[in-house]
């Protein structure tokens, strides 16, 4: 395919999702939700009467987020392969991927750090690690949005999008005063 923009819209594998319906955006909701939830649990562990269940819940939310991040990374990598190297979209995608991998590694480290100690309120250093990692995830999410909404990576082309804005209303039926006999 000669047009780099059109090339970036086509999946390189069925594993990445069909044309105009990539899997990566839906899979990223798992780590985002899990990691935001873990930070909420971390903070709540300081105000709860029994913080142990929140500390344990946070640990498992981090683990769930890491598992979800691996699935999202696999489909995101397939989407990256569709973007022509040397383009602004490709450079943005590399930064997006690098940030996500760094954030995932931070959460893997945080999971290991917490694994042996899930009693009492979550320690401030562990909360700080999660907060910094979540901030990195927000920056990466901004770049992911730029890839989809500004550069149109893995988004259907404008002709396909136009299908959603056509009306299929039947033509108005002529009335008796317009010359039709009853």
Q: Where are the domains of the chain?
A: 22-157
Confidence band (pLDDT; 50, 70, 90) for 67? very high
**176 Rama class: left (phi>0) / alpha (psi -120 to 50) / beta:** alpha
Which residues, including other chains, have CB under 8 Å from residue 69's CB and lie 6 or more apart?
Answer: 30, 31, 100, 103, 104, 107
Instruction: Compute the C-alpha angle 131/60/72, nearest 5°.
Output: 75
Token pair recorded at residue 77: 């990598």
Token pair recorded at residue 113: 């750090």
Sign for the pseudo-dihedral over CA of 95, 101, 104, 106: negative
For residues 90 and 103, what is the distance between their CA atoms, to the nearest angstrom? 20
Confidence band (pLDDT; 50, 70, 90) for 13? low
Considering only CA atoms, which of 130, 92, 104 is closest in space to residue 30?
104
For residues 169 and 156, what is the distance between their CA atoms, to the nearest angstrom? 24
18-35 tens-digit pLDDT: 666 678 899 999 999 999
Token pair recorded at residue 21: 């319906």
What pLDDT, on the 0 to 100 scale, is given for residue 116? 87
124-162 tens-digit pLDDT: 999 999 999 999 999 999 999 999 889 888 887 777 777
The answer to whether residues 7 and 84 touch, using CB atoms and an 8 Å cutoff, is yes
Largest CA distance in the chain: 87
Across the range 116-127, mean pLDDT stands at 93
């Amino acid at each position: 395919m000669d047009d780099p923009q059109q090339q970036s819209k086509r999946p390189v594998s069925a594993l990445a999702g069909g044309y105009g319906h990539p899997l990566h955006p839906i899979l990223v909701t798992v780590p985002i939700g899990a990691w935001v939830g873990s930070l909420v649990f971390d903070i709540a562990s300081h105000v709860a009467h029994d913080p142990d269940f929140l500390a344990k819940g946070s640990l498992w939310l981090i683990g769930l987020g890491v598992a979800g991040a691996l699935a999202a990374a696999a489909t995101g990598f397939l989407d990256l392969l569709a973007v022509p190297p040397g383009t602004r979209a490709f450079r943005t995608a590399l930064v997006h991927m690098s940030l996500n991998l760094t954030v995932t590694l931070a959460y893997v480290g945080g999971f290991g750090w917490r694994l042996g100690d899930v009693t009492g309120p979550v320690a401030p250093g562990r909360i700080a690690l999660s907060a910094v990692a979540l901030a990195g995830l927000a920056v990466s999410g901004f770049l992911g949005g730029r890839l989809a909404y500004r550069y149109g990576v893995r988004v259907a082309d404008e002709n396909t999008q136009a299908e959603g804005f056509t009306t299929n209303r039947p033509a108005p039926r002529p009335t008796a005063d317009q010359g039709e006999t009853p």
